[in-house]
Amino acid sequence: MNKLKSFVLALIIIIALIFCINIYCQSYIKSNISSSFRLYNDIKNESTFIQKNEANSKNLLMLYGSSELGTTNIPSNPMKYFPKKGDDFNVSPIGKGYMQDLAHVIKFAANPALKGKKVAFIVSMQWFLYKDGVPTDDFQMNFSEVQFYEAMKNPLISEDIKNQICKRVYSLVSNNTFYSDVSVYAKLYNSNNFIQKLEFAMLKPYFDIRCSLLEFSNTIKSYRLIQKYKINTNLNTHKLSEIDEKKSFADAEKLGSTLANNNSFYMLNSYYDSFIKNNLSKIKNVNKNVKLTDSKEYEDLETLLKVCKAQGIKPLFILMPVNAKYYDFNGINRSTRTAYFNKTKNLISSYGFDVAEFQNHEYEKYLMEDGMHLGWKGWLYVDKEIDEYYHK
């Protein structure tokens, strides 16, 4: 009996300690949330607590996307370009390389604080290269178990949408024993079988506890991240430079001409030398049979649109341009690209959301820094759209 009492007392102390640590870390993160605004970071990507607090921050626009967000070496990248005098808002990147629509579906659904908020979302043409949508390995690389559980608890998301999410997640993680808990959850949640429904109900406390432990672990990681990068981001408009569009484009032209001058694609010299120069024969027309309008990625994009609608999120969808000369060379010609842009625009517009696209600039020098990532001029066009949408 004494051993049992000691065990119960120890358990109570541990739970109380965890509770206190969690409260302290969350309070610290809230107080210093501005330190996360410019971070392009894995922990930030997985931390719904950081993202919820960013969504509630003033003078901030959250920008979702993939690897293009990491081009912070480019002065016109929004994380470096803003704030400006008269445009005293920051832009926060959410995303990383190989992250596509489905990963962001989960992020959006896991963050009810986005309700009624403006966000910007960059859609990449490369996501639609594969008929089956996001490759399994790419999805697993970016999958957040804690965000999945949090998304499934969001009362703003309908059962139909949650079933769609579970179906897609199960199809992409069921082959990996590391995600065995998620596979069981997704399979049982999506089942109409009475026995499996009963099994899910019995396992629900386990999943709730697992979610809580993952949230606590993520809060600790988030606290350490904010503590490491704690900075003063108070906006002082007297010290901010004004937007000078003409000068910005002139500077971009000059910088691009210095860094991208050894190839006919006007892409970064170092990228061309490392990945393109010695592989031209392999790259030529390699994608000539690709049909961009026939991909399961459209289903994931539509699920994202449904989540935005359900939560009252106000997104600006930015259809990222491409390096047209390069894609002409590798086989995805202008007509194929136009078909993709038209289908994507029409789908997004059918849900009543704003779309920005830049296909009329796709042959412009220094638009992109390589074949697919926004470059010196490309980001400036995006900056302008972001600025106008933020103040709309």
What was the pLDDT predicted at 232? 56
What was the pLDDT predicted at 168? 98
What was the pLDDT predicted at 243? 81
**Per-residue H/E/C for 244-279:** CHHHHHHHHHHHHHHHCCCCCCCCCHHHHHHHHHHH
Chain mean position to CA 262: 33
What was the pLDDT predicted at 235? 46
Residues 6+ apart with CB under 8 A from 165: 102, 105, 106, 109, 148, 151, 152, 303
**Cα–Cα distance for residue pair 323/124, rounded to 1 Å:** 12
Buried b (16+ CB within 10 A) or exposed e, 316-345: bbbbbbbbbbbbbbbebeeebbeebbebbb
What was the pLDDT predicted at 186? 97
Q: Phi/psi zone of residue 228: left (φ > 0), alpha (ψ -120 to 50 degrees), beta? A: alpha
Token digits of residue 313:
């999120």
What was the pLDDT predicted at 161? 98
What was the pLDDT predicted at 8? 63
- All residue ranges of the chain with pLDDT < 70 are 1, 4, 7-8, 11, 231-239
